[in-house]
Chain A
Amino acid sequence: MLVQRCRAGDEAAWEEIVDRFSSYVYAIAMRFGLTGDRAGDVHQDVFLRTFTQLGSLRDPGALKPWIAQITRMAAVDTLRAQARELPSVEADSISDVELDLDEIEEAMAVNLALDELPEPFGDALRRFFVEDQSYRTIGEALGIPAGTVASRISRGMSLLRQLLDADPGD
């Protein structure tokens, strides 16, 4: 539906595609060791290719793996260009880059599910697992005793699992 709307010139649909897959594209680029401006270049390149080649996508339901494939090609192109600029980057090693897209997709799904968790569970999980905050710091921020933070996070993990089981993603 999203793809068809986009093909029909619906700008909002295109913005939704960019919004939905931006983090995904960055995550794949980072798995290739690309950060900062280079990851930004890949991001720009991927969505340019996606926009111009969207008409060639036969199965609109395969948008996500298609974008993943475009991202891998863009990342390899960037690494090859980098290898030409910097002799220390061995072009041969580029083909050895192994991507675990399942892992990235799982991380993305967890990230989305965290947003859906009721507070303060989502906040507690983010602070502990993403920001590496201690129980004490989390307890102070959330106004709960530090001694109960661990059990709160456990409860949040339980809710997170329920969300992920209910919605396995695309």
Chain B
Amino acid sequence: MARAAQESELPAIDAFVRVVGDGIVARGSAGAVAGLVAALAADLAAQVETSSGEWNERGGVLAQADAIRDRAISLVSEVQRTYRAALSELARARTTTAHETSGDAELAQALNDVADHLVLIGEVANDAAELAELAARSGQPSMRADAIAATILAAAAAEIATHLVDVNLVVTREDPRAVLVGELQLSAIAARNRATSIAL
């Protein structure tokens, strides 16, 4: 019976893992994957009940986790859109001659759009890390490991976003977006470290 249940779950798990390879999430869009990871982190945090067990306490964490997860999912779609547009502009740039520079502005705009949305991924990842840390601190001890896992996932998503902004062709080191996403990454990592330092 348990084996049958496991086998019935496999297609769904397989489909989830293949969202990138099958092109549901734009192939190679690590930014979209970061958004998915942030959404997973928020979802995991949502499952952690707080210590009091009363609606008021639990509801606050659940409602925030739902909101963060929904934002992350929405951003996955937005990041994909901007990423596909940037790929399209890059392909166009490769086929144009040195004298045809009219597309440069469009390419720069497309890359700027990608960077803007990656910063938003960094924000939502940091929010997921902060909320998961709260859940780790105040939630039921039996669920603490899940909350800590959520902070680890969220911090990873923030790190991915920061890395992708850093390597974006139009973003310099002094660019405010690079500074901001770097701070968000550090904030998410700090939340993760606080959570992992809580005794299980």
Contacts and interface: CB of A to CB of B under 8 A. Distances in A.
Contacts of B134: 150-151, 154
Contact of B187 (A146, A151, A158): A146
Range, interface on chain A: 20 to 34
B184 A136 contact: yes
Given A134-B123, A151-B134, A158 B191 contact: no
A136 B131 CA distance: 12
A84 interface: no
A135 B126 contact: yes
B191 A147 contact: yes
Contacts of B60: 153-158
Contacts of B191: 147
Range, interface on chain B: 20 to 34
Interface of A: 128-129, 132, 134-137, 146-147, 149-151, 153-158, 161-162
Given A153-B60, A155-B60, 8 more contacts: A128-B67, A137-B123, A146-B126, A146-B187, A150-B134, A157-B63, A158-B59, A161-B56
28 contacts: A128-B67, A129-B63, A129-B67, A134-B123, A134-B126, A135-B126, A136-B184, A136-B187, A137-B123, A146-B130, A146-B187, A147-B133, A147-B187, A147-B191, A149-B130, A150-B64, A150-B127, A150-B131, A151-B138, A153-B60, A154-B57, A154-B64, A155-B60, A156-B60, A158-B56, A158-B57, A158-B60, A161-B55
